[in-house]
Amino acid sequence: MLSQSEAPRRAELTARAAELARPKLPLAMRALGAAASPLAGRLWEFDPEELKRKACAKTELADFGDDAPLDEPLEVLCRSLRTETRLSTSGRFVMYNQLLGSLVNRLRLRDLEVHRPEIFEAAVPSPLFVTGTPRTGTTFVQKLLWQDSGWRSLLLWEASHPLPAGDLTARQPDPDPRIASSRNEVRLTSKILPEQASIHGSVADEPEEENPLLAIGHCSSMYENIALVPGYREWYTQADHTAGYRQFRQVLRYLQWSRPGAERWALKAPGHLEMMGPLQSAFPDATVVRTHRDPVTSVISFANMVTYGARVYFDRPDPHLVGRYAADFVERLLRAAVRDHDPDDGRVVDIRFRDLITDPLGEMKRVYEAADRELDSGTERAMREYAESESRRGGRNRYAAEDFALDLPALRERFGFYYDHFDVAAEHR
């Protein structure tokens, strides 16, 4: 996966780790990869200036705006992808188009800001952000909130395609063609990643994380979660992302103007956990819900999710390398949560996973009180039905700590600072 990292030998891998390290991809994907491999470096070159030129040519625009950072993070990311990773042919193609798409969105959004500034003068009133490390109940909270039509969720098709083709001010067809595009993408993903639905299911017209929108201003951990990219990760963790969150707010302003709906957003992304300062600077009246659970569970689950998804980007994902990265990432988020914890801040609601599972409605009432919203009987009923359906669904994990060369006692000791601070119980695995 990384140029300077030696992959573990087959004898060092568990059965699950070996399965993750040597993924079986669809025949068509393997054939296309083999055919395009000799040209991949020239077709999809990670050169920041070339990427910007191509984005300008696609849009016939040239102004990227100068609020959120662009040149430095794009240069660092491209260098990291070129020199630190061993992307597969498909990985180069997908990553290249993700970067190009983000640049295209930024150009088009900036052009609209110049020509229709009134769109971006509207408030983004009292949004709610759900955050927490993986497997701590963030998606469960997000879907509970989705049962209330008084909240506006970011749907997968909007997250994937925030700007429509053509005139951004024109009325869009009903149904919006981006929905069909997103459904096709979900179907393709399910063929490449058949386990994805049980790890983190995606439905085109259901809520999704806002990472692609945050990535426009380089204030998302999305790229490091996809490709690790050590150099970019170092830049990301040291940068001030206040301007990036202002860029994110601009995207939300456009979305609520182009598709009017409920006044208040209910959004979710794990990365907000370490970005409380930038988030609250851009959204001073926001309510933040932070979920808490044994971080060992987060690390192992996150390592499985990243390693499994890495088959899109790498021929030979390294479960042991990802295990180390997952532990570092989760610790980074949790140390930020401890750093930013203010028990007197009524805008932040801390929810423990055990309480969320045993009494979801009770925890949601706490959220609604903090958000100054009334939880009506119809929404309560819908939330209860959703919670009951989730409790029946269940599932079985196919992974364990040893698949990622993780030592459970060492992890528990490593996260001692967090267990004590937030009174989180260790789970027996």
**DSSP H or E segment with residue 211:** helix 211-215
Exposed / middle / buried, residue 201 (Cβ in 10 Å: 0-12, 13-18, 19+): exposed
Amino acid at 173: P
- What pLDDT does residue 392 have? 80
The identity of residue 20, as a single letter, is L
What pLDDT does 395 receive?
Answer: 59
Task: Give the chain's residues under pLDDT 70.
Answer: 394-396, 429
% of the chain at pLDDT higher than 90 = 88
What does the pLDDT read at residue 429? 63
Please confirm whether the linkage preceding 175 is cis (ω < 30° from 0).
yes
What's the CA gap between 15 and 309, in Å, rounded?
18
Q: What 3-state DSSP class applies to 117?
A: helix
Structure token digits, residue 341: 């914890």
Structure tokens at 424: 């989180």
Residue entry with tokens 């988020």:
333
In the structure encoding, which two tokens stand for residue 387, read together?
């919670």
Tokens 């979660």: give the residue. 225
Q: Which residues contact 92 (CB under 8 A, 6 or more apart)?
A: 40, 41, 43, 44, 46
- What letter would DSSP give residue 175? S
- Residue ranges and CATH numbers for the domains of the chain are 20-121+129-422 (3.40.50.300)
Tell me how far apart the alpha carbons of residues 347 and 345 are, in angstroms, rounded to a whole number.
Answer: 5
Which two tokens mark 298?
A: 């987060």
Q: What is the DSSP string of 288-350?
A: EEEEE--HHHHHHHHHHHHHHHGGGT-SS--HHHHHHHHHHHHHHHHHHHHHH--TT-TTEEE
- The encoded tokens of residue 284 equal 């001073």
Per-residue model confidence as pLDDT tens digits over 216-274: 999 999 999 999 999 999 999 999 999 999 999 999 999 999 999 999 999 999 999 99
pLDDT digits 0-9 by tens, 282-318: 999 999 999 999 999 999 999 999 999 999 999 999 9
Estimate the crossing angle of helix 89-115 against helix 48-59, to 10 degrees: 50
Q: Rounded distance, CA 132 to CA 348, Å?
A: 12
